[in-house]
Chains A and B, each alone.
Chain A
């Protein structure tokens, strides 16, 4: 089976002005939301305590909240998690009591209140403020180092304008994915951060595949403007881009539906990121490289390393 029986010939690059407007709008909205609403950081970053309990029967959140308030935690947030028997309780850092004992305290209060119902501790997470700050810092650093490592590798393997193009696409993807999280106020925790970094890896993968073909075509095709060549390359890779995105989305859907509540935000971030990433590897990356004036001469193999460069890394099968 195939989508296109012959090579498609969509004029992707002809619509790059339109794409630019769309991307800019999305990025501006995202940054706006990040600036005003911010991210709904989980306790990994803010510090605090998270307690997940399972009741043997459906439980009324109002009662749980009353119990918590009675125990002196009126700032605790309780919500159902997955089913109406599971409750997730978040307690912000509690001044004097902001220590590890808090969770035992809360669990005890719940045990006492639910005399007829079984309450089962499913999960407790406590992150002290010092750790939260560190995780935020490390997470930010990881993102920046990953982007730099990639920038260097692509500059070495391709050309600096491609590198800028791919990093532009990455920043675009990350900002918009974060923007969606901010707009919908989805919880952002460590696993979500891992997902965002995976989006970087994935989107890059896509971009590089397209760049690889653009480079090949620049060398092979004697005629045609850079825009034509970019267009042709994107069209040639279109069915691969779609097939890979679809298979990856399949497994992510499986993860989203079957992976359980904890993995939800992870799957959500990846799904958003991959949809955006597929779009950006077509439009943002190539359009940026074109806008920076990529041309034939830049991509001609350098004489000395000529062959190795054109033939690829090695002679594996």
Chain B
């Protein structure tokens, strides 16, 4: 009696070993590291790698390893002193097109990493950092779309010489209403609009003797406009976040109109807010051919021109007159040109921009045109205790291309070096286009000292709670208590393993969830042990009591745990942030404790007592 078949021991051992393996990376700690990421189009390749390595070697700074990571380089160091020095050197010598960030990178050994094992992902409340929830103003996004249609419709009616009385946006219906003198004009307009803007839903109305045409934006297009507004903001924010040089930033869509931005390790929230909130615009300007750049550099630019700088720092002369500005761009997307397969960027302009672009390009075929990217930043600095806001305007030529043909509403920029460059250019064009306004609706910032305090306090309370419960169990249930403690320890390892495997975020409430599971995991064993005592009291043999104890307590344990699991899952589904973190560890804890407290302890009890004559149980 009370013997497990071999396969059950094998299964339990396999589960525990797997758990231990995946929990292991948490013991290795972190390496101090510096992450170097390129800004905008700067290249990351063998050359930049060699430069960084040379820089460090030149200063005699030892480093542990050098890795190429997604869009950047990661250099690990032996201690934080070397790390700090390295960052200073890199910041100083590598130039403006790279940004570096201090980083703590998991020191998981390679053999473990090859199993995809990684340490738990700590939430911002534990590692310190900033969490922003931003909301895109969808009302404004729809208003912009409506206004664009008003201007588009107005210009096509004018161009085709269709007479109308008024044209205006109907705010609540996301529609444009056009008033005509008579039904004949309206019908001409109707067929024209249907041809040019097939996506608009057209309705005729007659009110007070006037003929109206209502052009409604379809629900599908409304959804697309909203989606576009959100994505555009996500892209803009990603760009800006890169500029902050954060090690593991998160910019993620949440729901239909929100964006989550998480910046681990950032302490200067004011600066983060400024950079995230910077506005960018674009200008298309004609470049001056065969210009006397030297004279311009000396401070004497030719009349009607201005000196700009390109990405790589080389000077370029542009005409002062602006062709088209960023708010006239409706969309920009990167792609491949069909004819020769070279990377390209497709741009759509609104009607006003399209007209100006058409006029300019018609007269300037064969001449170069430049795209200037302008960022307005507000920098807040403290000067002698006083708060000073400094407005900074950064202008940069991001692309120069030769005009090959007259442009229309849609045109493309070709001759780009790589698909990466095309993508970056499209990103910048979109970032500079008119974006729906965005607002911070939630901020949670945790300073680094508090993060460390939270970890320390969390770990301490887990350990102390754990030890008290263990002592209690041994005093109360003796040998059986020891077995339960073993299960409890394994349970803790399993929770850590599952959290590491899922890469779920561990937060302070999550630690509280673990503490609570420790308390509740004991319950399954308490139920079994009390039942065994009862069976012994009613005169059963030790072996029969063990068997009956486990058997009869099982359905109770299952019921109790399943109901708690229901509560935990509901918490997970409805909760945000802290509640989710708590629900995750609680759910994981319930599942693992079922395994360790029932199967695990039974296996050990069977090993101790099973298959022999037992007179008395130490319970």
Contact = CB atoms under 8 A, between A and B. Distances in A.
A276 B395 CA distance: 66
A311 interface: yes
A256 B512 CA distance: 10
Given A145-B570, A262-B454, A252 B387 contact: no
Contact of A124 (B269, B464, B602): B269
Nearest to B476: A1
Contacts of B461: 251, 254-255, 257-259, 263
Contact of B515 (A216, A237, A251): A251
Contacts of B472: 246-247, 250
Contacts of B516: 198, 248, 251-252, 270
B273 A100 contact: yes
A61 interface: no
A164 to B, nearest CB: 15
B567 A266 contact: no
A191 B476 CA distance: 33
Nearest to B606: A317
B469 interface: yes
B445 interface: yes
B125 to A, nearest CB: 8
A244 interface: yes
B534 A251 contact: no
Interface string A273-317: 000000000000000000000000000000000000001111011
Nearest to A115: B385
A263 B561 CA distance: 25
Contact of A104 (B269, B473, B530, B550): B269
* Residue in A257, A259, A260 whose Cβ sees the most chain B Cβ within 10 Å: A259
A201 B269 contact: no
B598 to A, nearest CB: 6
A266 B581 CA distance: 14
A128 B444 contact: no
A205 B442 CA distance: 36
Contacts of B441: 127-128, 130-131
Nearest to B579: A194
Contact of B563 (A7, A201, A251, A255): A201
Contacts of B508: 262-263
A59 interface: no
Contacts of B576: 135, 138, 190
A216 B555 CA distance: 11
B566 A153 contact: yes
B518 interface: yes
Given A198-B586, A205-B564, A255 B469 contact: no
A122 B125 CA distance: 10
Given A131-B441, A317-B602, A194 B563 contact: no
Interface string B574-602: 11111100110010000000000011001
A6 B447 CA distance: 56
Interface in B444-497: 444-447, 449-450, 453-454, 457-458, 460-461, 464-466, 468-469, 472-473, 475-476
A8 to B, nearest CB: 12
Interface in A24-54: 52, 54
A198 to B, nearest CB: 6
A99 B468 contact: no
B86 to A, nearest CB: 26
A52 B128 CA distance: 13
A141 B574 CA distance: 8
Report, as a range, how many residues of chain B touch the other chain: 35 or more
A200 B516 CA distance: 13
A99 to B, nearest CB: 7
B457 A99 contact: no
B613 interface: no
A2 interface: yes
Contacts of A213: 556
B457 A259 contact: yes
B183 interface: no
A149 B566 contact: yes
A139 interface: yes
Contacts of A120: 447, 449
A21 B58 CA distance: 82
A51 B573 CA distance: 29
Contacts of B235: none
A79 interface: no
Interface in A108-156: 108, 111-112, 115, 120-128, 130-131, 135, 138-139, 141-142, 145-146, 149-150, 153-154
A130 B135 contact: yes
Interface string A188-201: 00110110011011
B136 interface: no
B578 A190 contact: yes
Contact of B554 (A121, A139, A313): A313
Interface stretch (B279-287, B409-417, B520-528): B520-528
B332 interface: no
B273 A259 contact: no
B8 interface: yes
A150 B519 contact: no
B385 to A, nearest CB: 5
A250 B599 contact: no
A152 to B, nearest CB: 9
A150 B567 contact: yes
Nearest to B562: A153
Nearest to B581: A194
Given A122-B447, A208-B560, A316 B598 contact: yes
B564 A194 contact: no
A128 B519 CA distance: 36
A96 interface: no
A247 B556 CA distance: 19
B380 interface: yes
B439 interface: yes
A209 interface: yes
B537 A7 contact: yes
B464 A317 contact: no
B563 A150 contact: yes
B554 A316 contact: yes
Contacts of B534: 7, 236
Interface string A168-212: 000000000000000000000011011001101110110011001
A313 B555 contact: yes
Contact of B509 (A54, A191, A247): A191
B4 interface: yes
Interface string B281-317: 0000000000000000000000000000000000000
B512 A263 contact: yes
A317 B270 contact: no
B567 A200 contact: yes
A219 interface: no
A288 B526 CA distance: 26
Nearest to A242: B526
A157 interface: yes
Interface string B591-619: 00000001100110000000000000000
A103 interface: yes
Given A204-B560, A252-B519, 8 more contacts: A145-B574, A149-B567, A190-B576, A244-B522, A249-B519, A250-B465, A255-B512, A312-B552
Interface of B: 4, 8, 125, 132-133, 135, 267, 269-270, 273, 380, 382, 385, 387, 439-447, 449-450, 453-454, 457-458, 460-461, 464-466, 468-469, 472-473, 475-476, 508-509, 512-513, 515-516, 518-520, 522-523, 526-527, 530, 533-534, 537, 550-552, 554-556, 558-564, 566-568, 570-571, 573-579, 582-583, 586, 598-599, 602-603
In the A-B complex, list the 6 residue pairs whose CB atoms are closest, starting with the nearest: A312-B555, A251-B465, A248-B519, A128-B441, A142-B574, A254-B465
21 contacts: A103-B445, A108-B270, A112-B382, A124-B444, A125-B445, A128-B439, A145-B573, A146-B566, A153-B566, A154-B563, A191-B579, A191-B582, A194-B578, A202-B564, A212-B559, A254-B464, A255-B465, A259-B512, A262-B454, A312-B551, A312-B554
